[in-house]
Chain A
Amino acid sequence: MLIHTKRIIRSGWHNFVRSGFTSVASILIMTVTLFVITSLIFVQAALNSSLSDMKEKVDVTIYFVPGAEDSAIKKVEDSLSKLPEVKNISYTTAEEALTNFKDKHSNDYLTLQALDELSDNPLGASLNIKANDPSQYESIAKYFESDNDLSKGALTIIDKVDYHQNKLVIDRLTSIITGARSLGFAVSLVLIIISIIITFNTIRLIIFMSKDEISVMKLVGAGPKYVRGPFIVSGVLVGVCAAFMTILLFIPISIWMGNNMTDFLGINLYNYYKSNFLQLFVIMLGSGILLGSISSFFAISRYLRK
Chain B
Amino acid sequence: MLYFNNVTKKYKDNSSLEDVTISIAPGEFVSIVGHSGAGKTTLTKLILAEESPTSGTVFFESTDIHKLSKRDLMNFRRKVGIVFQDFRLLSNKTAYENIAFAMESTGKTDEEIQEDVPHVLELVDMTNRSFHFPHQLSGGEKQRLAIARAIITQPDLIIADEPTGNLDPSNANEVINILKKINDLGTTVILTTHNKSIVDQIKKRVITLENGRVIRDNKEGKYMLQ
Contacts and interface: CB of A to CB of B under 8 A. Distances in A.
B94 to A, nearest CB: 9
B92 A220 contact: no
Given A14-B97, A213-B90, A220 B110 contact: no
B48 A221 contact: no
B92 A14 contact: yes
Given A3-B110, A217-B105, A222-B101, A18 B77 contact: no
Interface in A209-224: 212-213, 215-224
A306 B97 CA distance: 25
A15 B106 contact: no
B91 interface: yes
Contact of A221 (B77, B109, B133): B77
Most chain A C-beta atoms within 10 Å of own C-beta, residue among B48, B90, B110 = B90
B168 to A, nearest CB: 24
A208 B105 CA distance: 22
B109 A3 contact: yes
Interface size classification for chain B: 20 to 34
A221 B97 contact: no
Nearest to B75: A221
Contact of B77 (A15, A212, A220, A224): A220
A3 B153 CA distance: 18
Nearest to B82: A219
Given A14-B93, A14-B97, A213-B91, A219 B105 contact: no
Given A3-B110, A14-B92, A213-B90, A219 B149 contact: no
Interface string B93-105: 1000100011011
A160 interface: no
Interface string B125-162: 00000000100000000000000010001000000000
A217 B78 CA distance: 11
A216 B81 CA distance: 11
B196 interface: no
A221 B102 contact: yes
Contacts of A221: 74-75, 77-78, 102, 105-106, 153
A297 interface: no
Contacts of A3: 109-110
Contacts of A102: none
Given A219-B77, A226-B104, 12 more contacts: A3-B110, A14-B93, A213-B90, A213-B91, A215-B88, A220-B101, A220-B105, A221-B106, A222-B105, A223-B74, A223-B105, A226-B105
